[in-house]
Amino acid sequence: MELIPLGTNGYFPSYGRQTMSFLALAGGRAMLLDAGTGVSRLLEPRLASRLEGFDTLDVILSHYHLDHVVGLSYLPAVWKGSKVRIFGPAPPVAEADPRSALEALFRPPFFVKTMEAWSCEVEIVPVEGEEMDLGGLPVQVRGQSHPGGSMGVRLGDGIAYLTDTSVDFSGLPLAMGVKVLLHEVWWTDEEAEAEGRTAGHSALSAVATFARDARAGRLLVVHHHPKRTQEEIEAIAERAAAIAGIPVSAPEEGVPLTVDG
Ligand SMILES: [Zn+2]
Ligand SMILES: [Zn+2]
């Protein structure tokens, strides 16, 4: 499995970082985890070339906040295949219905065309259960605590993707033994304490402890707060590594990572 980070910020782009999107290539499938402004990187020739030969793009959305979905509107410009399948959380996994949420957003006057009028076929698949099968790749999902709800995702034994959630140790099975855990870190411990907040997003120490307890092969910290400099993000990764006792890094956008399994 190959993982190409396209966008690693939360909320909005800053310091050259785009908002949340990750391209996963596995078993002859092309998948996007979230579709924030990072989708724009698929216009870059070295990344665009990675999509050649694929007919269908599967997009798995964690939820419908703009930093995770606005890049869907870039797909008519960057996706040359014939079909896009969008898997979005539906009740009880999250509160919104994917069809009504996405069809409300991607239509005039907010976007020039409805999704039905895009050059590729668009299928919206509501995710209501805990498991689905993407052409032989087992995918597990789980509802998370976030305003409006969000969905944690596990792709085989390779990748677990947990963002826009408070740290929830009852969700450990979704990440247990995974090769690469992508988990948001929105607050440092000092920020969480100063603001008195632990709901809806995650603080550093809790994420690192979760990664350790999940026995993940490595932790990639993502969904960076836009205010952070690259140096501050690297300091967060270093502190998390000291707690988790496993390799921790902040993935560089546009640089592919190989994931065994
Ligand atoms: Zn977000
Ligand atoms: Zn969110």
Looking at residue 114, which CATH number applies to its domain? 3.60.15.10
Distance 128 CA to ligand 1 centre (A): 21
Compute, in angstroms, the gap from residue 37 CA to the centroid of ligand 2: 14
C-alpha 63 – ligand 2 centre gap (Å)? 7
Residue 225 lies in a domain: yes
Sorted by sequence, the CB contacts under 8 Å of residue 120 that are 6+ apart come out as: 75, 76, 79, 81, 82, 83, 84
Q: Give the ligand at the shortest distance from the Cα of 165.
A: 2
Cα 126 to ligand 1 centre (Å): 20
CA 62 to ligand 1 centroid distance, Å? 9
Distance from Cα 57 to the centre of ligand 1, integer Å: 22
Domain count, the chain: 1
Nearest to 27 by CA among 137, 140, 139: 137
**Its pTM surpasses 0.75:** yes
Instruction: Please indicate, yes or no, if residue 218 is contained in any of the structural domains.
Output: yes
Closest C-alpha among 228, 227, 247, 229 to residue 237: 247
Q: What is the pLDDT of residue 203?
A: 96
Distance 114 CA to ligand 1 centre (A): 24
Q: Is 67 within 8 Å of 10 (Cβ atoms)? A: yes
Structural domain of 29: 2-251
For helices 230-244 and 204-213, angle between their N-to-C axes, nearest 10 degrees? 40
Q: Given this model, what pLDDT does residue 196 score?
A: 83
Task: Round to whole Å and give the CA distance between 224 and 57.
Answer: 26
Distance 48 CA to ligand 1 centre (A): 25
Closest ligand to 70 CA? 1
Whether residue 73 lies inside any domain: the answer is yes
For 134, the 3-state DSSP assignment is strand
pLDDT of residue 41: 98
Q: How far is the CA of 61 from the centre of ligand 2 (A)?
A: 11
Is 157 domain-assigned? yes
Question: Rounded to whole angstroms, how far apart are CA atoms 84 and 173?
Answer: 30
Shortest-distance ligand to the CA of residue 223: 1
pLDDT in tens, the chain (261 residues): 999 999 999 999 999 999 999 999 998 999 999 999 999 999 999 999 999 999 999 999 999 999 999 999 999 999 999 999 999 999 999 999 999 999 999 999 999 999 999 999 999 999 998 998 888 899 999 999 999 999 999 999 999 999 999 999 999 999 999 999 999 999 999 999 998 877 899 999 999 999 999 999 999 999 999 999 999 999 999 999 999 999 999 999 999 999 986
Distance 154 CA to ligand 1 centre (A): 18
Cα distances (Å, whole numbers) of residue 163 to 61, 120, 210: 11, 28, 13
The answer as to whether 260 is a domain residue is no
Residue 61 lies in a domain: yes
Reduce the DSSP state of residue 212 to 3 states and report it: helix
C-alpha to C-alpha distance for 240 and 228, rounded to whole angstroms: 16
Strand duo 150-155 + 137-144: pairing:
antiparallel
How many C-alpha atoms does 216 have within 13 Å on its Cβ side? 32
Strand extents, DSSP E, 170-247: 180-184, 218-222
Write down the pLDDT at residue 261. Answer: 62
Q: Is residue 81 a part of any domain in this protein?
A: yes
Question: What is the structure's pLDDT at 260?
Answer: 84
**pLDDT for 151:** 97
Does some domain include residue 45? yes
Q: 230, 250, 248: which is closest to 16 by C-alpha?
A: 230
Straight-line distance from the first to the last Cα atom of the chain, in angstroms, rounded to the nearest whole number: 7
Distance 242 CA to ligand 2 centre (A): 28
Nearest Cα neighbor of 148 from 68, 56, 259, 240 is: 68
